[in-house]
Amino acid sequence: MPLHNINPSTTKAWKKLASHFKEMNSFSLKEAFKENPNRAKYFSIAFNDLLLDFSKNRVTQKTIDLLVELANEVQLNDAIDRYFSGDIINETENRAVLHTALRSNSENELLVNGKNIKPEIRKALRKIRAFSNKVISGDWKGYTGKKITDIVNIGIGGSDLGPDMIVEALQYYKNHLTTHFVSNIDGDHVSEVLKKLNPETTLFVIVSKTFTTQETITNANTIKNWFLTSGSQFDIAKHFVAVSTNSDAIDAFGIDPKNVFPMWNWVGGRFSLWSAVGLSISLSVGFEHYKALLDGAEKMDLHFKESSFNENIPVILALLSIWYNNFYNAESEAILPYTQYLTKLAPYLQQAIMESNGKSVDRNGTPVNYQTGTIVWGSTGTNMQHAFMQLVHQGTKLIPSDFIGYETSLYGLCDHHQKLMANYNAQMDALAFGKSKEDVHLELKTSGEGSAINKLLPYKVFEGNRPSNAILFKKLTPESLGELIAMYEHKIFVQGVVWNIFSYDQFGVELGKELAKKLLNKE
């Protein structure tokens, strides 16, 4: 069954939210915390090793109730059932959306076109495990009998961003293999990567769901030719493996069918790191850690599926984002992890979120009359405090921000971690509570700058009332990382359901590709 087709702006809840928005004009986070010192406890959800504190948002209980009412009116519950049970919710591509099946440990069967997909998922996982173990242990040898030292993932978009982000994020857990990522069609970058490699000890993983993507195929061919300057055609089997749905194209490329890992059209590229697209993750950190990542994601899936909406982390995050996007006209959201390991989270989420919900036609085929997909961007704390946070604190735009933090560090440099987390908390406090004229006045006076008060005061005031979510995990582990990514995946889903759009196609990327091909043919 397809998803329901309900224009959210025609719902009763939407209208109530619009008038509630007017009431909220005078809402102050500072006052709200004064009135209810337990606000942080009240507006937070604990799940497993994660605590979402959403108290520093411009919301009252009434706001949350109305947002939940909106979710109910667009039949979110029913949509969640269809999502997990493999209904064709990617209608425009006539596909199910089942990345959640890839991490499911349940023995229950799951039918796609009448066929249970669980056995093939398990088979693929066994293949990933066996292959990763062989390469990591050194049993897999290159064409001159040497062990593999380097892995190169060749792919782009969903066939690159997820694995690249996770490999970077799980550096602490990695083994002796060095992993590289080649995505851009920029030949200079390819050359720079090849410069560091020895063909005798390098394994190339070509990841392309379609195996037709210009960047990936061009890069793969260049790399194959580079390899053939030392190895022979016969040696390709030991150095090239592929992850794809397109077996004919893989054959034509010369890859041994034994070295092909499956992909399925019920997994979208940007949600595919849980499939064999994540092979380079498993190679880099070992299958056990890779499986823990999947298990963490499954925990979030179950939380999402089973929790009531006001206790449901992805649902609450999605609804808050809708509140700002559709009522406050906030255009963007910042993703701010306080760990250098998550440097690549923002680019990863940019594809996941913006390719999914950057749509302007609803499920009826008509242009929407409300805003949809948010622009997401971000960087790691504390670096970004010395870069763009000025605008978030004092600029003219409202930028709801997700602060992602960890209670403990991995190496245990406590002094650093204390400072890191003090900054994490301070930024959210500064955004929420600001600094009043009176405080600035007093500060200038007591610091001996009394004569400059008239000149400086307006520049030193922080109006505050700027929203943030504190997303706090105990520790960065493969499991907690899986939870985090699945949390955002479900947030995307909920928003797409409410906005009545198709989140799982990406026709918007096609025109540019077509025109580039035409231009090339003209030359």
> Which of 156, 167, 294, 330 is the binder for ligand F6P (CB under 6 A)?
156
Catalytic (active-site) positions: 355, 386, 513
The minimum distance between CB 268 and ligand F6P, in angstroms, equals 7
3-state secondary structure 377-434: EECCCCHHHHCCHHHHHHCCCCCCEEEEEECCCCCCCHHHHHHHHHHHHHHHHHHHHC
The minimum distance between CB 303 and ligand F6P, in angstroms, equals 26
Beta bridge partners of 377: 334
- Asked if 339 interacts with ligand F6P (CB under 6 A), we say no
> Which of 63, 153, 159, 312 is the binder for ligand F6P (CB under 6 A)?
159
The minimum distance between CB 507 and ligand F6P, in angstroms, equals 10
CB nearer to ligand F6P: give 356 or 385: 356
CB nearer to ligand F6P: give 219 or 477: 219
The secondary structure of 458-497 as a DSSP string is HHH-B-----EEEEEES---HHHHHHHHHHHHHHHHHHHH
CA distances from 355 to 54, 157, 210, 239, 492 (A): 26, 10, 17, 32, 10
CB nearer to ligand F6P: give 158 or 467: 158
Helix or strand or coil: residue 336? strand
Q: Report yes or no: 400 and 333 within 8 Å, Cβ to Cβ.
A: yes
Q: Which of 76, 25, 209 is nearest to 493 (CA)?
A: 76
* Spatial separation of the C-alpha atoms in residues 346 and 401, rounded to whole Å: 12
The minimum distance between CB 163 and ligand F6P, in angstroms, equals 11
* Spatial separation of the C-alpha atoms in residues 105 and 284, rounded to whole Å: 23
Binding range to ligand F6P, per CB under 6 A, among 84-92, 156-164, 372-380, 413-421: 156-164
Binding range to ligand F6P, per CB under 6 A, among 17-25, 101-109, 153-161, 223-231: 153-161
- Asked if 213 interacts with ligand F6P (CB under 6 A), we say yes
343 burial via Cβ count (<10 Å: 0-12, 13-18, 19+): middle
The minimum distance between CB 107 and ligand F6P, in angstroms, equals 30
The minimum distance between CB 355 and ligand F6P, in angstroms, equals 6
Helix or strand or coil: residue 179? strand
Helix or strand or coil: residue 275? coil
* Spatial separation of the C-alpha atoms in residues 218 and 253, rounded to whole Å: 12
CB nearer to ligand F6P: give 130 or 509: 509
- Asked if 270 interacts with ligand F6P (CB under 6 A), we say yes
* Spatial separation of the C-alpha atoms in residues 347 and 340, rounded to whole Å: 14
How many residues bind ligand F6P, per CB under 6 A? 14
Two structure tokens written together for 52: 């979402």
Q: Which of residues 383-412 bind ligand F6P (CB under 6 A)?
A: none
- Asked if 183 interacts with ligand F6P (CB under 6 A), we say no
The minimum distance between CB 506 and ligand F6P, in angstroms, equals 5
Crossing angle between the packed helical segments 287-306 and 478-499, to the nearest 10 degrees = 40
The minimum distance between CB 278 and ligand F6P, in angstroms, equals 13
* Spatial separation of the C-alpha atoms in residues 334 and 400, rounded to whole Å: 6
- Asked if 157 interacts with ligand F6P (CB under 6 A), we say yes
> Which of 180, 209, 344, 363 is the binder for ligand F6P (CB under 6 A)?
209
CB nearer to ligand F6P: give 53 or 355: 355
Binding range to ligand F6P, per CB under 6 A, among 2-10, 157-165, 438-446, 464-472: 157-165
- Asked if 208 interacts with ligand F6P (CB under 6 A), we say yes
Binding range to ligand F6P, per CB under 6 A, among 39-47, 167-175, 207-215, 218-226: 207-215
User: Over the range 81-102, which residues count as b (16 or more CB within 10 Å of their CB) and which as e?
Assistant: ebbbbbbbbbeebebbbbbbbb
CB nearer to ligand F6P: give 270 or 393: 270
Q: Which of 56, 72, 58 is nearest to 324 (CA)?
A: 58
Binding range to ligand F6P, per CB under 6 A, among 210-218, 234-242, 285-293, 478-486: 210-218
Q: Which of residues 503-522 bind ligand F6P (CB under 6 A)?
A: 506, 509
- Asked if 373 interacts with ligand F6P (CB under 6 A), we say no
* Spatial separation of the C-alpha atoms in residues 297 and 55, rounded to whole Å: 25
- Asked if 356 interacts with ligand F6P (CB under 6 A), we say no
Beta bridge partners of 383: none
The minimum distance between CB 366 and ligand F6P, in angstroms, equals 24
> Which of 8, 86, 142, 158 is the binder for ligand F6P (CB under 6 A)?
158
The minimum distance between CB 495 and ligand F6P, in angstroms, equals 18
- Asked if 495 interacts with ligand F6P (CB under 6 A), we say no
Sequence-ordered alpha helix ranges (H) in 151-229: 161-169, 187-195, 214-228
Place of tokens 């749905």: 245
Binding range to ligand F6P, per CB under 6 A, among 122-130, 150-158, 365-373, 402-410: 150-158
CA distances from 184 to 44, 220, 226, 362 (A): 41, 11, 17, 32
- Asked if 178 interacts with ligand F6P (CB under 6 A), we say no
277 burial via Cβ count (<10 Å: 0-12, 13-18, 19+): buried
Q: Which of residues 279-338 bind ligand F6P (CB under 6 A)?
A: none
> Which of 142, 269, 337, 478 is the binder for ligand F6P (CB under 6 A)?
269
Contact residues for ligand F6P, defined by CB under 6 A: 156-159, 208-210, 213, 216, 269-270, 355, 506, 509
